[in-house]
Amino acid sequence: MRTIYSPRHAGHAGNVELNSGAIVPAFELPRRAEIIRDRVREVGLGPIEAPREFDLSVAARVHDRGYLDFLPRAWPMWAAEGRGGTAMPFVFPVPGLRRDRPPEDIDGLLGFYAFDAGATFVEGTWDAVRASHDVALTGAALLAEGERAVFSLCRPPGHHAGSRFAGGYCFVNNAAVAAEYLRGRGHERVTVLDIDYHHGNGTQEIFYARGDVQVVNLHADPVREYPYFLGHADERGTGAGEGANLNLPLPWGTGIEPFMAALATGLAAIADFGPGALVVSLGVDTYREDPISRFQLDTPDYPGIGAAVAALGLPTLFVMEGGYAVEPIGANAVGVLTGFEE
């Protein structure tokens, strides 16, 4: 399997986040992608290739134009106020206390285009986001050209980014952009299967009213876990998308057996939907020692997940999402891929 990787992710570095009432170094950091890349090499998964360049026309079909225009302007506007460090929102438009009118000030705009304080900007953020988007689209293009499977080693991740909201370390929804690309390239139906620990709220929102892109999500139950406000089992899609959204929430402490049982349910729903291609939002924050998560998967469990996905027999694009136990992240993520190939 080919891996698509860009070193430009490394410009998105030194960010901080809010954690238990304190400002701490962001858990989502450059080493993550480097360790995964090194593991790809170590196990000989296949060639590691640079992305091609794409314009934002596909992204503009899943994201709001004003939002996409804001992302590259966020850091320059912040710096123009004489500020350094990390650009982070502190005020958000909630129902009843907002109008649908973008402010002009950077602090207002950061909140207007975000659902939490977790997607922060430094000088190199937009370049890294742009490269991550290209990494995803290059994988999708290779799939459209006939590859059976490709690994898009995206960083920053994307599945929390909604049509006009950043959050949870995510800016552009790489998996959604890839799925939308595949839809436009001959596949009548495409599925996004999200196995990150956290519910892919952005991906769900983007495709919720669409019947051509199925979204299947395995994640920690939002009753107790981030992102809290979406990801329940009764969210099934709306309008033309009715029945095309499947949430499989799992309790804290979930180990590999119930995880595989839920995965089997998800895979059966995918087979019923009959997509021409599959995009997997691959998060390995389901790992037992992940510092911000509470599932119990272990390193030897990951190949079995890849093997189960492979049994669908679909052209498959893996798009990297979360995973914050930094040293084991390579073995865990690449374990899914080697399991897929066996």
Stretch that binds ligand Q9C, among 32-40, 156-164, 186-194, 235-243 (CB under 6 A): 156-164
Work out whether 9 is an interface residue with ligand Q9C (CB under 6 A). no
Work out whether 196 is an interface residue with ligand Q9C (CB under 6 A). yes
- How far out from the chain centre does Cα 172 lie? 9
> Restricting to residues 226-285, which ones interact with ligand Q9C according to CB under 6 A?
226, 283, 285
Residue 318 touches which of Zn ion, ligand Q9C, none (CB < 5 to 8 A by kind)?
none
Work out whether 67 is an interface residue with ligand Q9C (CB under 6 A). no
**Closest residue by beta carbon to ligand Q9C:** 322
Work out whether 165 is an interface residue with ligand Q9C (CB under 6 A). no
> Restricting to residues 105-134, which ones interact with ligand Q9C according to CB under 6 A?
118
Active site residue 199: no
User: Which of 75, 197, 287, 340 is close enough to bind Zn ion by CB under 5 A?
Assistant: 197
Work out whether 34 is an interface residue with Zn ion (CB under 5 A). no
Residue 315 touches which of Zn ion, ligand Q9C, none (CB < 5 to 8 A by kind)?
none
Stretch that binds ligand Q9C, among 39-47, 125-133, 168-176, 294-302 (CB under 6 A): 168-176
Work out whether 196 is an interface residue with Zn ion (CB under 5 A). yes
Stretch that binds Zn ion, among 3-11, 194-202, 211-219, 224-232 (CB under 5 A): 194-202
Work out whether 168 is an interface residue with ligand Q9C (CB under 6 A). yes
Rule CB under 6 A: which residues touch ligand Q9C?
17, 19, 118, 157, 159-160, 168-170, 196, 198, 226, 283, 285, 292, 321-322
